[in-house]
Chain A
Amino acid sequence: MALKPETAEHLARAERNRAIARALCDPQQCSSVQPPPWEWAAVAGFYAALHYVHALLWELHGLTPHDHPARRGYVARTAPLNRVLGAYDTLYDLGWQARYRRTFRPKPQEVLTAVHQQLDTIRSLVYRVLSVEAP
Protein backbone atom coordinates (compact mmCIF):
# COMPACT_ATOMS: atom_id res chain seq x y z
CA MET A 1 0.00 0.00 0.00
CA ALA A 2 1.32 3.43 -0.92
CA LEU A 3 2.19 5.85 1.81
CA LYS A 4 0.31 9.10 2.22
CA PRO A 5 2.12 11.88 0.30
CA GLU A 6 2.94 13.78 3.51
CA THR A 7 4.44 10.65 5.03
CA ALA A 8 6.71 10.16 2.03
CA GLU A 9 7.75 13.81 2.29
CA HIS A 10 8.62 13.40 5.97
CA LEU A 11 10.71 10.34 5.16
CA ALA A 12 12.52 12.15 2.36
CA ARG A 13 13.32 15.06 4.66
CA ALA A 14 14.44 12.65 7.38
CA GLU A 15 16.79 10.89 4.96
CA ARG A 16 18.30 14.19 3.84
CA ASN A 17 18.82 15.34 7.44
CA ARG A 18 20.38 11.99 8.29
CA ALA A 19 22.80 12.31 5.37
CA ILE A 20 23.71 15.84 6.54
CA ALA A 21 24.25 14.63 10.11
CA ARG A 22 26.54 11.86 8.89
CA ALA A 23 28.48 14.23 6.64
CA LEU A 24 29.01 16.63 9.56
CA CYS A 25 30.49 13.76 11.56
CA ASP A 26 32.96 12.95 8.81
CA PRO A 27 36.23 14.90 9.19
CA GLN A 28 37.02 14.34 5.51
CA GLN A 29 33.80 16.04 4.43
CA CYS A 30 34.14 18.91 6.92
CA SER A 31 37.87 19.49 6.78
CA SER A 32 37.51 23.30 6.73
CA VAL A 33 35.93 23.38 10.21
CA GLN A 34 38.12 22.45 13.18
CA PRO A 35 37.26 20.90 15.47
CA PRO A 36 34.62 19.10 13.38
CA PRO A 37 31.08 20.42 13.91
CA TRP A 38 29.90 17.62 16.21
CA GLU A 39 27.26 19.87 17.74
CA TRP A 40 25.64 20.54 14.37
CA ALA A 41 25.77 16.85 13.52
CA ALA A 42 23.66 16.30 16.63
CA VAL A 43 21.22 19.04 15.59
CA ALA A 44 20.81 17.58 12.09
CA GLY A 45 20.46 14.12 13.62
CA PHE A 46 17.62 15.31 15.82
CA TYR A 47 15.79 16.86 12.88
CA ALA A 48 16.11 13.57 11.04
CA ALA A 49 14.57 11.81 14.07
CA LEU A 50 11.79 14.40 14.20
CA HIS A 51 10.75 13.67 10.60
CA TYR A 52 10.87 9.90 11.09
CA VAL A 53 8.57 10.35 14.09
CA HIS A 54 6.26 12.67 12.17
CA ALA A 55 6.11 10.21 9.28
CA LEU A 56 4.90 7.44 11.55
CA LEU A 57 2.46 9.60 13.52
CA TRP A 58 0.95 11.01 10.34
CA GLU A 59 0.70 7.71 8.48
CA LEU A 60 -0.85 5.72 11.33
CA HIS A 61 -2.70 8.32 13.36
CA GLY A 62 -3.09 11.47 11.21
CA LEU A 63 -1.22 13.43 13.85
CA THR A 64 1.16 16.36 13.50
CA PRO A 65 2.50 17.44 16.91
CA HIS A 66 2.80 21.20 17.07
CA ASP A 67 5.82 21.50 19.34
CA HIS A 68 8.45 19.49 21.16
CA PRO A 69 6.57 18.81 24.43
CA ALA A 70 3.59 17.53 22.44
CA ARG A 71 5.78 15.44 20.14
CA ARG A 72 7.66 13.94 23.07
CA GLY A 73 4.35 13.02 24.66
CA TYR A 74 3.25 11.19 21.54
CA VAL A 75 6.57 9.34 21.33
CA ALA A 76 6.28 8.27 24.97
CA ARG A 77 2.61 7.21 24.77
CA THR A 78 2.43 5.65 21.31
CA ALA A 79 3.53 2.04 20.92
CA PRO A 80 5.88 1.06 19.39
CA LEU A 81 7.42 4.55 19.21
CA ASN A 82 7.75 4.50 22.99
CA ARG A 83 10.57 1.97 22.58
CA VAL A 84 12.78 4.71 21.15
CA LEU A 85 12.00 7.49 23.64
CA GLY A 86 15.52 7.33 25.08
CA ALA A 87 17.18 7.54 21.66
CA TYR A 88 14.85 10.35 20.57
CA ASP A 89 15.47 12.34 23.77
CA THR A 90 19.23 11.88 23.54
CA LEU A 91 19.25 13.40 20.06
CA TYR A 92 16.87 16.19 21.11
CA ASP A 93 18.87 17.12 24.19
CA LEU A 94 22.26 16.92 22.46
CA GLY A 95 20.95 19.24 19.76
CA TRP A 96 19.24 21.61 22.18
CA GLN A 97 22.20 21.99 24.52
CA ALA A 98 24.56 22.33 21.55
CA ARG A 99 22.56 25.34 20.34
CA TYR A 100 21.85 27.06 23.64
CA ARG A 101 24.63 26.26 26.11
CA ARG A 102 27.92 28.00 25.44
CA THR A 103 30.16 25.59 27.40
CA PHE A 104 28.57 22.45 26.00
CA ARG A 105 31.24 20.16 24.51
CA PRO A 106 29.83 16.79 23.53
CA LYS A 107 32.36 14.05 23.09
CA PRO A 108 32.86 13.03 19.44
CA GLN A 109 32.29 9.36 20.18
CA GLU A 110 28.97 10.07 21.86
CA VAL A 111 27.77 12.20 18.97
CA LEU A 112 28.81 9.44 16.58
CA THR A 113 26.84 6.93 18.64
CA ALA A 114 23.80 9.20 18.70
CA VAL A 115 23.91 9.98 14.98
CA HIS A 116 24.76 6.49 13.78
CA GLN A 117 23.24 4.07 16.29
CA GLN A 118 20.45 5.89 18.08
CA LEU A 119 19.12 7.67 15.02
CA ASP A 120 19.23 4.44 13.06
CA THR A 121 17.29 2.67 15.80
CA ILE A 122 14.48 5.19 15.28
CA ARG A 123 14.80 4.95 11.49
CA SER A 124 14.64 1.14 11.47
CA LEU A 125 11.60 1.08 13.72
CA VAL A 126 9.71 3.60 11.59
CA TYR A 127 10.38 1.82 8.30
CA ARG A 128 9.49 -1.53 9.84
CA VAL A 129 6.18 -0.25 11.23
CA LEU A 130 5.35 1.43 7.93
CA SER A 131 6.24 -1.81 6.08
CA VAL A 132 8.54 0.12 3.78
CA GLU A 133 12.07 -0.80 2.84
CA ALA A 134 14.61 1.79 3.97
CA PRO A 135 16.50 3.40 1.05
Chain B
Amino acid sequence: MAITPDVRADAIARRLSEELARAEGAVLGLWLTMPRGVLTFWVLTRPIDLETQQRLYERTAVIYECFPNAEFVVHILNPEWYEGGDAAGALPPDAQPIPLPAAR
Protein backbone atom coordinates (compact mmCIF):
# COMPACT_ATOMS: atom_id res chain seq x y z
CA MET B 1 0.00 0.00 0.00
CA ALA B 2 1.30 3.43 -0.85
CA ILE B 3 1.94 5.79 2.04
CA THR B 4 -0.36 8.72 1.42
CA PRO B 5 -0.30 11.98 3.40
CA ASP B 6 -3.53 10.92 5.15
CA VAL B 7 -2.03 7.61 6.25
CA ARG B 8 1.02 9.44 7.55
CA ALA B 9 -1.14 11.97 9.41
CA ASP B 10 -3.00 9.09 11.01
CA ALA B 11 0.24 7.42 12.08
CA ILE B 12 1.61 10.65 13.55
CA ALA B 13 -1.66 11.32 15.36
CA ARG B 14 -1.70 7.81 16.79
CA ARG B 15 1.87 8.11 18.05
CA LEU B 16 1.16 11.51 19.58
CA SER B 17 -1.96 10.24 21.32
CA GLU B 18 0.08 7.40 22.84
CA GLU B 19 2.63 9.88 24.14
CA LEU B 20 0.08 12.30 25.55
CA ALA B 21 -1.82 9.51 27.29
CA ARG B 22 1.28 9.12 29.49
CA ALA B 23 1.12 12.75 30.64
CA GLU B 24 -0.12 12.00 34.13
CA GLY B 25 -3.76 12.74 33.45
CA ALA B 26 -3.15 16.28 32.23
CA VAL B 27 -4.60 15.66 28.77
CA LEU B 28 -8.36 15.39 28.27
CA GLY B 29 -8.50 15.20 24.49
CA LEU B 30 -6.62 15.47 21.22
CA TRP B 31 -7.87 16.80 17.90
CA LEU B 32 -6.39 17.29 14.46
CA THR B 33 -6.96 19.89 11.77
CA MET B 34 -5.04 20.38 8.54
CA PRO B 35 -5.40 24.03 7.50
CA ARG B 36 -3.62 24.45 4.14
CA GLY B 37 -2.16 20.98 4.63
CA VAL B 38 -0.38 21.81 7.92
CA LEU B 39 -0.81 19.12 10.56
CA THR B 40 -2.17 21.02 13.54
CA PHE B 41 -2.81 19.25 16.83
CA TRP B 42 -5.10 20.64 19.50
CA VAL B 43 -4.49 19.33 23.00
CA LEU B 44 -7.23 20.01 25.56
CA THR B 45 -5.92 19.79 29.12
CA ARG B 46 -7.16 20.04 32.64
CA PRO B 47 -6.20 23.37 34.26
CA ILE B 48 -2.40 23.14 34.39
CA ASP B 49 0.44 25.46 35.33
CA LEU B 50 2.95 26.84 32.86
CA GLU B 51 5.64 24.33 33.78
CA THR B 52 3.34 21.38 33.10
CA GLN B 53 2.27 22.96 29.84
CA GLN B 54 5.90 23.38 28.80
CA ARG B 55 6.56 19.70 29.49
CA LEU B 56 3.62 18.76 27.25
CA TYR B 57 5.15 20.66 24.34
CA GLU B 58 8.42 18.86 25.00
CA ARG B 59 6.69 15.49 24.93
CA THR B 60 5.61 16.10 21.35
CA ALA B 61 9.27 16.00 20.25
CA VAL B 62 9.00 12.21 20.23
CA ILE B 63 7.21 12.56 16.89
CA TYR B 64 10.38 13.87 15.25
CA GLU B 65 12.23 10.74 16.37
CA CYS B 66 9.62 8.47 14.80
CA PHE B 67 8.95 10.63 11.74
CA PRO B 68 12.18 12.55 11.04
CA ASN B 69 10.71 14.79 8.34
CA ALA B 70 7.42 15.52 10.09
CA GLU B 71 6.26 19.11 10.24
CA PHE B 72 3.42 20.00 12.57
CA VAL B 73 2.09 22.54 15.04
CA VAL B 74 0.73 22.00 18.54
CA HIS B 75 -1.77 24.20 20.35
CA ILE B 76 -2.47 23.46 23.98
CA LEU B 77 -5.92 24.54 25.14
CA ASN B 78 -5.54 25.13 28.86
CA PRO B 79 -8.65 26.24 30.79
CA GLU B 80 -6.38 28.41 32.94
CA TRP B 81 -5.91 30.63 29.89
CA TYR B 82 -9.57 31.00 28.92
CA GLU B 83 -12.43 33.18 30.04
CA GLY B 84 -14.71 31.02 32.18
CA GLY B 85 -12.30 28.11 31.74
CA ASP B 86 -13.87 27.32 28.37
CA ALA B 87 -10.80 26.17 26.49
CA ALA B 88 -12.82 23.60 24.53
CA GLY B 89 -14.67 26.50 22.93
CA ALA B 90 -11.43 27.45 21.17
CA LEU B 91 -11.38 24.22 19.14
CA PRO B 92 -11.91 24.79 15.42
CA PRO B 93 -15.31 23.50 14.24
CA ASP B 94 -13.68 21.11 11.77
CA ALA B 95 -11.34 19.52 14.33
CA GLN B 96 -11.26 15.72 14.12
CA PRO B 97 -10.99 13.88 17.45
CA ILE B 98 -8.07 11.49 17.91
CA PRO B 99 -8.77 8.75 20.47
CA LEU B 100 -6.46 8.71 23.47
CA PRO B 101 -5.42 5.23 24.58
CA ALA B 102 -6.07 4.40 28.20
CA ALA B 103 -3.20 5.59 30.38
CA ARG B 104 -0.76 2.85 31.34
Q: Which residues of A contact B (CB under 8 A)?
A: 67-70, 72-73, 76-77, 82, 85-87, 89-90, 93, 96-97, 101, 103-107, 110, 113-114, 118
Distance between Cα atoms of A85 and B74 in the complex (Å): 12
CA of A93 to CA of B42, assembled, Å = 11
Binding site for A on B (CB under 8 A): 38-39, 50, 53-55, 57-58, 60-61, 64, 68-76, 80-84, 86, 89-90
With A89-B57, A97-B81 known as contacts, the answer to whether A69 contacts B90 (CB < 8 A) is no
- Provide a sorted-by-A list of 27 A–B residue pairs whose CB atoms are within 8 angstroms: A67-B38, A69-B71, A69-B72, A69-B73, A70-B71, A72-B72, A72-B73, A73-B64, A73-B69, A76-B64, A85-B57, A86-B58, A87-B54, A89-B58, A89-B60, A90-B50, A90-B54, A90-B57, A93-B57, A93-B75, A93-B76, A97-B90, A103-B82, A103-B83, A105-B82, A110-B80, A114-B50
- Give the residue name and chain of the A residue nearest to B61 (CB): A76
Instruction: Report the minimum CB–CB distance from A6 to chain B (whole Å).
Output: 23
When chains A and B are docked, how far (Å) is the Cα of A77 from the Cα of B61? 8
Let me know if B68 and A77 touch, CB within 8 A.
yes
Known: A72-B73, A89-B74. 20 other contacts (CB 8 A): A68-B73, A69-B39, A73-B64, A85-B61, A89-B54, A89-B57, A89-B58, A89-B60, A90-B53, A101-B82, A103-B86, A104-B82, A104-B90, A105-B81, A105-B82, A106-B81, A107-B80, A110-B50, A110-B81, A118-B54
**B83 to A: closest C-beta gap in Å:** 4
A106 to B70, CA, bound (A): 30
The residue in A87, A103, A105, A106 that gathers the most chain B C-beta atoms within 10 A of its C-beta is A103
Residue B50 contacts which of A69, A77, A113 (CB distance < 8 angstroms)?
Answer: A113
Smallest CB–CB gap between B26 and chain A, Å? 14
Q: Which residue of A lies closest to B58 (CB)?
A: A86
**Contact across chains for A104 and B81 when beta carbons are under 8 A apart:** yes
Using CB atoms, name the residue of chain B closest to A73.
B71
Q: How far is the CA of A85 from the CA of B86 in the complex (A)?
A: 26
> Nearest 7 A-B pairs (CB), nearest first?
A89-B57, A86-B54, A69-B71, A103-B83, A86-B58, A101-B90, A86-B57
